[in-house]
Amino acid sequence: MISKEVVVNNGTGLHARPATLLVKKASSFKSDVSIEFNGKKANVKSLIGVLSLGVTKGAKITVLASGDDEALAAEEIVNLIANLED
């Protein structure tokens, strides 16, 4: 399992459009990918799960990946979150 921290810089946090992009990216990997925020954890392949965390701008979240392509999955998810724009 790989764990990486990232800060959400997107003005709206991980809401509708950015969350959809995140789910699409995560779904392209075989590994299980999840994020943790404020003590809650959600599967990144679930739009409802990501939205339910209520991640806002400036939040520090942890990306967790476990599986065959966990290193690549964690790296690409962290890069996507770090580079999301409004």
- Which residues are part of the catalytic machinery? 15
Say which residue the tokens 């392509």 belong to.
69
* Contact call for residues 69 and 31 (beta carbons, < 8 A): yes
* Contact call for residues 70 and 1 (beta carbons, < 8 A): yes
